[in-house]
Amino acid sequence: MPKLVVAGCSFSDRTLVKECYGDHLSKLLNIDYLHLAGGCGSNDRSMRLIVTNVLLNKINANDHVIFQLTTPERREVFSNYLTHTRSGKAVFDRSLADAMKGTPVRNNPEIKAIHPWDSMPLNDLVDDTVKDFRWSRFKMNSSSWQENTPDMLLQKSMEETTVDITADTYTIWTKLAMLMPFLDSKNIRYTVLHPHNYFSENSFEKMGLTRLFREGKDIATHPELTSVWRQIQHSPDDASHLSEDGHEWFAKWLNDKITWT
Domain region containing 152: 3-257
Beta bridge partners of 6: 35, 66
Where residue 237 sits, what CATH number does that domain have? 3.40.50.1110
Packed helices 43-55 and 165-185: angle between N→C axes, nearest 10 degrees: 20
DSSP string for 98-152: HHHHTPPPP--TTS--SSBSS---SS-TT--TTTT--EEEE-TTGGGG-SSHHHH
pLDDT by residue, tens only, the chain of 261 residues: 899 999 998 899 988 888 999 999 999 999 999 999 988 889 999 998 999 889 889 999 999 999 998 888 999 887 777 654 443 333 333 333 343 344 443 433 433 333 333 333 434 444 544 444 567 788 888 888 777 788 889 999 999 999 998 888 888 888 988 998 899 999 999 988 876 554 555 555 555 544 444 455 566 667 788 888 889 998 888 888 899 999 999 999 999 988 877
Domain count, the chain: 1
- Give the model confidence (pLDDT) of 176-188 as tens digits: 889 988 999 999 9
Which of 37, 34, 47 shows the shortest CA–CA distance to 14? 37
Q: How far apart are CA 66 and CA 68, in angstroms?
A: 6
**How far, in Å, are 115, 212, 240, 255 from residue 39 at the CA level?**
5, 27, 12, 24
CA dihedral over 222, 224, 227, 233, signed as positive or negative: negative
Output 225-228 pairs: Cβ under 8 A, ≥24 positions apart. Answer: 225/253
- Give the model confidence (pLDDT) of 126-153 as tens digits: 454 444 456 778 888 888 877 778 888 9
**How far, in Å, are 110, 123, 187, 259 from residue 180 at the CA level?**
38, 26, 10, 16
pTM exceeds cut of 0.85: no
Percent of the chain surpassing pLDDT 90: 33
Dihedral over alpha carbons 133, 138, 143, 149 (to 10 degrees): 30
Q: In the prediction, which pLDDT does 144 show?
A: 81
Contacts of 128 (CB under 8 A, 6+ apart): none
